[in-house]
């Protein structure tokens, strides 16, 4: 029932689709009589993928900064509470000794 659909043709490596040979203004030379299939493009531009990657990186950075700020806030609050507890304990001990 659930079978993966295999592509009709072998996938073309990305290096071949992105790299373009230097353009020459010579007539094409046909050395063989066999019919070659043209190189198929990926069908989607590369630029939107770069835009998504940049926005994903920005989102990760923002989340990292927010989480770091929250962690620093918790640490500062813990230090403040511990200092307040020490001061209160010192004041209460001195009041009991009098």
pTM of the model: 0.43
Domain segments of the chain as ranges: 45-98
pLDDT at 46: 57
* Token pair belonging to 67: 């989480």
Mean pLDDT of all residues in 5-10: 69
By percentage, how much of the chain surpasses pLDDT 70?
54
Query: Region 55-66: what's the mean pLDDT?
Result: 92
Rounded Cα gap, residues 85 and 33, in angstroms:
91
Q: What's the Rg (C-alpha) of the chain?
A: 34
> What's the pLDDT at 14?
60
């Amino acid at each position: 029932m659930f079978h993966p659909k295999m592509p009709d043709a072998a996938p073309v490596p990305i290096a071949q689709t992105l790299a373009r040979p230097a353009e020459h203004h010579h007539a094409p030379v046909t050395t063989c009589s066999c019919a070659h299939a043209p190189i198929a493009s990926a069908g989607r531009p590369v630029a939107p993928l770069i835009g998504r990657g940049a926005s994903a990186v920005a989102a990760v950075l923002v989340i990292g900064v927010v989480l770091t700020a929250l962690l620093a806030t918790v640490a500062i609050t813990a230090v403040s509470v511990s200092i307040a507890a020490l001061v209160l304990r010192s004041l209460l001990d001195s009041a009991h000794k009098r």
